[in-house]
A = this chain, B = another copy of it.
Amino acid sequence: MYRTHTCGELRIAHKETETILAGWVQTIRKFGSITFVDLRDRYGITQLLFGEELTKLLDESPLGREFVIQATGIVQERSNKNLNIPTGEIEVNITSFKVLNKSEVPPFTITDETDGGDDIRMKYRFLDLRRNAVKKNLELRYAVGRSTRNYLHENNFMDIETPFLIKSTPEGARDFVVPSRMNPGQFYALPQSPQTFKQLLMVSGYDRYYQIVKCFRDEDLRADRQPEFTQIDCEMSFVEQEDILNMFEGLVKRIFKDVKNIDYTDTVARMTWEDAMWNYGNDKPDIRFGMELLNIKKPASVYVTKSDRTDLVGGADFKVFDEAETVIAIAVPGCSEYTRKQTDEIMEWVKRPQIGMKGMVFIKVNADGTYKSSVDKFFSEDRLKAIADAAGAKAGDLVMILAGAEERTRKATSELRLEMGKRLGFRKDDEFRLLWVLDFPLFEYAEDDNRWVARHHPFTSPKPSDIELMINTSPVITDAAKYLEHPYANIKANAYDMVLNGNEIGGGSIRIFQRPLQERMFEALGMDEEEQNHKFGFLLGAFEYGAPPHGGLAFGFDRLCSILGGSESIRDFIAFPKNNSGRDVMLDAPSSIDAKQFDELQIKLDLKNV
């Protein structure tokens, strides 16, 4: 062993102890004839004191930042204590030292606030990983994983590994594929998730399965996606939705306790998908704050169980509202005194292409009880008051109203709510609010193919009350214009998402375990019998040999860690992430391969634009 202690270990109680430390040179400070060196390792920083003689040696052969050294000395009390670090009361008076490895001057500083940009830090990720800020993220990730494993173990779950070289059954996202040398012309696929395997394990009787496992999706990457990502993947047999919700809110509460020392004793809130869309404009509401949506106008065909408030804006001859499919308002607390410049800025914000609205109507609910709006000439003060009241506005609030096509307007209002919530400090990093979103629609309509697609995935069961309906009704949509009238449009899924602070951290469903229902589902998704058997014959077959009722869910491990760590970016929580082009810039991968490899795999390139 190169050391007797780590750089985070020595305390005043070690006074007079001889110690050997090894680590990296963080800083070198020469004071006259003596030198202080801060030595860093994974566990902390310890101050080394090089006396006159050793300082002379250093003059001849200087240390540099990030040199790796081994140093022997005696622990002594510091005259100038630093109570901000655990080792700050002592220093080590060095008697001898050895340079284990030199270091070039690093291309950026190894400090929390580094001077390195994103690109250079990714290229030298091995240096970036030395920074305390990054190390804390990976430590948090390890702690979340450890807590997860302990909780699931205590609850009788078994970690069972599923294969990575599987069969390509693209459904939704693209598969990464792997040419098979031993089976020329054939390909494996990398799993988008272990979904079918965990279901087979339930058929096999394993009852409670989990895995923290890499998954792969060949999608065009957004800032926040990685081609390979990690899931906490779980499945249980002989359970109903309620059992799963209880088990996994227990898991997240345990993680809060173990990792953040937060006692999350509140009941986890629950909300239907329809309420989430109606009141928050999206299916993963951030419920750390209110500012719920007032649905003034909605198209007749969606949210059939909900009533809007067309009365609030009708008969005013205000064309923007009259001609809009949807009108939605939110009451923003305490913003009635926004200046013209401020409201103009928000107006510009909703006009950005990412939001895509054409404008916005404001109603100021003044502190003196008066109402002032940009649409005063269409709406009397009484009518303005009625709208503001319906939106839940109080004196001092500012009501913002968006109007336009249903989907865009709802999404824009949701974004606006989140933006205002952020600006007003309602979205606190250290506040955590969990929410189950339930009762998702089972299907979405695919206009291009005039058929259904699975909203969650093709293995999700409808609500028990809809099973017979589904088995007994053809999925074929005869009149595309009236797809919303097809019985499938209203079938709800036995599915659930767990939302944390406005982020979906996990989701799952009760699964189909009956062959006829599974076949109907595949049929609804446009798969004929041959395709069903080619892609999923093994699963349909398994359902014939005593498949138990089962369900499960998967957490996005990277995302969960990033939210717990208070970061927007999952990349900060992955040791070796890829950039937005799916490249590892440190390795310079992907890259070309040898002619011999092409030859053995019996494939060749077929480039389109050379």
Q: Interface residues, chain A, CB within 8 Å of chain B?
A: 1-3, 22-24, 40-43, 66-68, 70, 100-104, 106, 124-127, 129-130, 135, 138-139, 141-142, 145-146, 149, 153, 158-168, 170, 174-190, 197, 200-201, 203-207, 214, 216, 218, 220-221, 227-228, 230, 238-240, 243, 513-514, 534, 537-538, 541-549, 574-576, 578, 581-584, 586-594, 597-598, 600-608
Question: Apart from A2-B238, A101-B547, A176-B188, what 20 extra A-B contacts exist at CB < 8 Å?
Answer: A67-B546, A100-B548, A101-B514, A124-B541, A127-B204, A129-B204, A139-B158, A149-B149, A161-B214, A161-B574, A162-B576, A165-B589, A170-B597, A174-B181, A182-B220, A187-B590, A188-B590, A602-B608, A603-B603, A604-B606
User: Chain B: which residue is nearest A581 at the CB level?
Assistant: B182
CA distance A545 to B142 in the complex (A): 26
User: Do A545 and B174 touch across chains, with their CB atoms under 8 A apart?
Assistant: no
User: Chain B: which residue is nearest A107 at the CB level?
Assistant: B545
User: Chain B: which residue is nearest A190 at the CB level?
Assistant: B178
Known A-B contacts A584-B167, A603-B603; the reply to A548 vs B181 at CB < 8 A is: no
Main secondary structure of the interface of A (DSSP, over half): loop
Top 8 A-B pairs ranked by shortest CB distance?
Answer: A167-B589, A129-B204, A103-B546, A2-B238, A186-B590, A66-B546, A180-B590, A604-B606
A-B residue pairs in contact (CB < 8 Å), sample of 18? A101-B546, A103-B544, A129-B205, A142-B158, A146-B149, A163-B578, A165-B582, A166-B587, A167-B590, A168-B593, A168-B594, A170-B594, A174-B597, A180-B582, A182-B221, A201-B575, A602-B605, A602-B606
Please indicate the chain B residues that have their CB under 8 angstroms from the CB of A158 in the complex: 138-139, 142
User: Do A22 and B605 touch across chains, with their CB atoms under 8 A apart?
Assistant: no
**Count of this chain's copies in the oligomeric assembly:** 2
Q: Which of B101, B135, B581 interacts with A513 by CB under 8 Å?
A: B101
Please indicate the chain B residues that have their CB under 8 angstroms from the CB of A547 in the complex: 68, 101
Please indicate the chain B residues that have their CB under 8 angstroms from the CB of A230 in the complex: 161
Please indicate the chain B residues that have their CB under 8 angstroms from the CB of A100 in the complex: 548-549
User: Do A183 and B581 touch across chains, with their CB atoms under 8 A apart?
Assistant: yes
User: Chain B: which residue is nearest A196 at the CB level?
Assistant: B587
User: Do B542 and A126 touch across chains, with their CB atoms under 8 A apart?
Assistant: yes
Please indicate the chain B residues that have their CB under 8 angstroms from the CB of A125 in the complex: 200
CA distance A102 to B165 in the complex (A): 31
User: Do A101 and B548 touch across chains, with their CB atoms under 8 A apart?
Assistant: yes
Task: Determine how close the nearest CB of chain B comes to the CB of A595; give it in whole angstroms.
Answer: 11
User: Do B104 and A1 touch across chains, with their CB atoms under 8 A apart?
Assistant: no
Please indicate the chain B residues that have their CB under 8 angstroms from the CB of A170 in the complex: 594, 597
CA distance A103 to B515 in the complex (A): 11
User: Do B603 and A606 touch across chains, with their CB atoms under 8 A apart?
Assistant: yes
Interface centre among A42, A125, A583, A590, by most B CB within 10 Å?
A: A590
Please indicate the chain B residues that have their CB under 8 angstroms from the CB of A187 in the complex: 590-593, 597
CA distance A516 to B338 in the complex (A): 66
